[in-house]
Structure 1
Amino acid sequence: MILRTFGWSFAVTALGLVAALLYGGPAGLALVAVLAVLEISLSFDNAVVNAKVLDRMSPFWQKIFLTIGIAIAVFGMRLVFPLLIVGITAKLNPIEAIDLAFNDHEAYADRMHEAYPMIAAFGGMFLLMLFLDFVFEERADKWLPWLERPLARIGKLDQLSVVVAGGSLAFVAGNFADDPGQVMIAGVLGMVTYILVNGLGELFADGGDLGEEGEGKGGTGPNGLVLATGKAGFFLFLYLEVLDASFSFDGVIGAFAISTDPVVIMLGLGIGAMYIRSLTVFLVRKGTLHEYVYLEHGAHWAIGALAACMLISIGSHVPEWITGGLGAGLIIAAFLSSVLRNRREGDGEPGDEAGEGKELHPTGVSGS
């Protein structure tokens, strides 16, 4: 099953490393390998959240996310997105932006770093809204009951997540940003994007645009559907793409501290993105999130930590090892807590329940 799930990732890794060796020699090969590890370490929590949402999508939309979504993630976010940001901020046309990227790496990196406060504000606010909506919702399972219980209690106040996120944005923009206006605009757009995708998902969920098992149930994602199809499936796909983009911002910017060559960055981060997609498939096929119930909690607390790091980095750089270490530490702690819970309650082997009857191939085709 490992080969079937991670086979495409292994193939892309081999091709990517060969391409890196031919393009940049041994130094290029080493840089691509380091960037791939960086991307995986920063995005593990992304895979957990993706798996929770992907588990509720129909086989068709799973396939779309794991095929077209990969192309968007690898080429769109790791190559086109930096070029787009540089072109907009430097007021360059596409040809000039491409010329700058491939012929003046240092200037290209400088432009990306200049745009980082706006990028961090957008991505940080999107992720912060996701985190707040999770912790302010009442849940049967509580990983940190001493903290999650009072948060769920105060979360009954309508639109509290918007109030907290907006207040956080105003504080960061007013105290840490060199250009508060641009940071405020980017942050508000991040909040609006989350609210819009969330609202559209709920709208089409209420309209009954579900699959055969389409009874709603609470959980991560804009609408918490099971086997969402049609418009609901499309907005879940859109939600996942925006979520993936928000996670990618930090990794793309952080990559410039390792290399300023856009080809090297795309190869390294692209390999990492493939492993995140394969890990998402693995978690769905094994039913891991159903068995280890606190993993979802750990992933969302890691998202909250990442959002905080992105907002802090608007005024002061946060090293990538801190961002990745916080996320990995929270998820490992949640996993160990889940193992202890299962032992106390005498649960069966992982995958006995949710993992059966719903196998995904690496391309996203359901085996059921």
Structure 2
Amino acid sequence: MFLRTFGWSFAITAVGLIAAGLLWGAQGFGIVLILSILEISLSFDNAVVNATVLKRMNPYWQKIFLTVGVLIAVFGMRLVFPLLVVGLTAKLNPATVIDLALHSDKTHDGLTYGQYLEAANPAIAAFGGVFLLMIFLDFVFDEKEHNWLGWLERPLEKVGKLDALSSVVALVALVLASRFFAAEHAETVLLAGVLGLITYLAVSGLSSIFESGLEEEAEREEEAEKSGKSVVQVAGKAAFFLFLYLEVLDASFSFDGVVGAFAISNDIFQITLGLGIGAMYIRSLTVFLVRKGTLDDYVYLEHGAHYAIGALAVILLVGIKYHIPEIVTGLIGVAFIGLALASSMMRNRREAPEDEKELVGSGQ
């Protein structure tokens, strides 16, 4: 199952690195490899959160996530989307943006493509930061079957019963970020942050509406089939909005990687290839977690991933003014996942039946 799930990732890695070596030599090979590792380290927690959503989708949509979703992630979010951001924030026409991207040393009004993208960071960080913050807040305020940090999560679950609390907290965080970290770009940050909140509410809300109808549709399966409105069609709508949710989530995670990649290379094709290889592994890991049932076996992994998302949201908002090294962002995510995995393993040992403990102790 491992090779079947990661086969395409291994193949694309080999082809991508060979192409990098042929096109740009040893230096290009090294840059693409480093960018791939950077993307994986920054988005490992993304895979865990993706898996919590993907397991609610049928096998057909899981395949869509691995095929169409990969194309959107690699070419859409890591190539086309940055071009759109630069064009909109700098008010440049598409031809100029593409020309700057293709010629990394070329300038327009004294700025290169990478510098324009860096200048767009306040809007990017505000949008992604608020979107990720909403994911974190909705998780910690919601009642959960298992609590990892009970001393923190149980009180938050109680106050989370207040309507729209997540949105209120996110808006307060946005206002504070615009006040203390974006004095010169306060209007841009506020607008981008509100758009991030609207996007989250719209996509997650629509997917929830269709998901809530699945149970009712299942009970009326025979009537639905007679009327020509199949349960599969309704499930497909729910899965479609979950798919959109995953793509926006992936975009939010990719923001810091795309911007940070320009510190390693100014070549947009090297960046796209490197980050694209990393994105393939994140998607394969997501599917592996679902098929292996890892989230059911290690119940605190989801908690660790969401705390990592909360930390990334804060880093994005603080990063509007202060540069946070990408290595810090990656290590924080890995640390939360590692601690959650260790806690899950300890819990499994504590709750294992006595006969299983005896077998483990005897080495059988």
**Common topology (TM > 0.5):** yes
CA contact (8 A) 2:104 2:267 kept: no
CA contact (8 A) 1:143 1:294 kept: yes
Q: How many Å apart are 1:105 and its aligned residue?
A: 4.0
Q: Which amino acid aligns with 1:98?
A: I
Q: Which amino acid aligns with 2:303?
A: H
Q: Which amino acid aligns with 2:14?
A: A
Picking from 319, 322, 334, the partner of 2:325 is 319
Match of 2:226 in 1: none
Q: Distance in 2 between the 1:276 and 1:182 partners?
A: 31
Given the superposition, is the C-alpha separation of residues 210 and 123 from structure 1 closer, same or farther in structure 2, using an over 3 Å criterion? farther
Q: How many Å apart are 1:60 and its aligned residue?
A: 1.6
Picking from 139, 146, 149, the partner of 2:151 is 146
Q: Distance in 1 between the 2:17 and 2:203 partners?
A: 37
Q: Distance in 2 between the 1:313 and 1:325 partners?
A: 16
Question: Is 1:303 aligned to residue 276 of structure 2?
Answer: no
Question: Is 1:170 aligned to residue 175 of structure 2?
Answer: yes
Given the superposition, is the C-alpha separation of residues 242 and 335 from structure 1 closer, same or farther in structure 2, using an over 3 Å criterion? same
CA contact (8 A) 2:86 2:116 kept: yes
Q: Deviations over 1:247-285 (max 9, x none)?
A: 111111111111111000001000000000110111011
Given the superposition, is the C-alpha separation of residues 290 and 213 from structure 1 closer, same or farther in structure 2, using an over 3 Å criterion? farther
Picking from 196, 201, 204, the partner of 1:195 is 201
- Equivalenced residue count is 338
Q: How many Å apart are 1:211 and its aligned residue?
A: 8.2
Q: Which one has the bigger helix percentage?
A: 2
CA contact (8 A) 1:134 1:300 kept: yes
Q: Which amino acid aligns with 2:47?
A: A
Picking from 325, 329, 346, the partner of 2:335 is 329
Larger Rg: 2
Q: Distance in 2 between the 1:9 and 1:317 partners?
A: 31
TM norm structure 2 = 0.89
Match of 1:247 in 2: 253
Q: Distance in 1 between the 2:50 and 2:217 partners?
A: 19
Q: Which amino acid aligns with 1:136?
A: F
RMSD over equivalenced CA pairs, Å: 2.0
Question: Is 1:115 aligned to residue 120 of structure 2?
Answer: yes
Picking from 278, 283, 296, the partner of 2:284 is 278
Given the superposition, is the C-alpha separation of residues 211 and 99 from structure 1 closer, same or farther in structure 2, using an over 3 Å criterion? farther
Match of 1:46 in 2: 46
Q: Which amino acid aligns with 1:283?
A: L
CA contact (8 A) 1:46 1:299 kept: yes
Given the superposition, is the C-alpha separation of residues 112 and 210 from structure 1 closer, same or farther in structure 2, using an over 3 Å criterion? farther
Match of 2:228 in 1: none
What SS is found at the alignment partner of 2:75? helix
Match of 1:8 in 2: 8
**Structure 2, gaps ≥5 residues long:** 107-111, 221-232, 357-364
Q: Distance in 2 between the 1:37 and 1:213 partners?
A: 47
Match of 1:62 in 2: 62
Match of 1:77 in 2: 77
Q: How many Å apart are 1:213 and its aligned residue?
A: 11
Match of 1:344 in 2: 350
What SS is found at the alignment partner of 1:192? helix
Q: How many Å apart are 1:314 and its aligned residue?
A: 0.5
Q: Which amino acid aligns with 1:92?
A: L
What SS is found at the alignment partner of 1:205? helix
Q: Deviations over 1:70-112 (max 9, x none)?
A: 0000111111111111222222222221111111347011000
Q: Deviations over 1:312-333 (max 9, x none)?
A: 0001111111111111000000
TM norm structure 1 = 0.88
Q: How many Å apart are 1:228 and its aligned residue?
A: 7.8
Q: Which amino acid aligns with 1:249?
A: F
CA contact (8 A) 1:13 1:271 kept: yes
What SS is found at the alignment partner of 1:310? helix
Match of 2:262 in 1: 256
CA contact (8 A) 2:127 2:192 kept: yes
Q: Distance in 2 between the 1:212 and 1:163 partners?
A: 35
Q: Distance in 2 between the 1:64 and 1:211 partners?
A: 23
Q: Distance in 1 between the 2:319 and 2:344 partners?
A: 32
Q: Which amino acid aligns with 1:153?
A: K
Q: How many Å apart are 1:212 and its aligned residue?
A: 6.1
Q: Distance in 2 between the 1:210 and 1:52 partners?
A: 22
Q: Which amino acid aligns with 1:81?
A: F
**Structure 1, gaps ≥5 residues long:** 215-226, 350-368
Q: How many Å apart are 1:58 and its aligned residue?
A: 1.2
Q: Deviations over 1:280-307 (max 9, x none)?
A: 1110111000000000000000000000
Instruction: Tell me the percent identity.
Output: 63
Q: Distance in 1 between the 2:169 and 2:88 partners?
A: 30
Question: Is 1:133 aligned to residue 133 of structure 2?
Answer: no
Q: Deviations over 1:130-179 (max 9, x none)?
A: 00000001112000001111111111111111111000000010111021
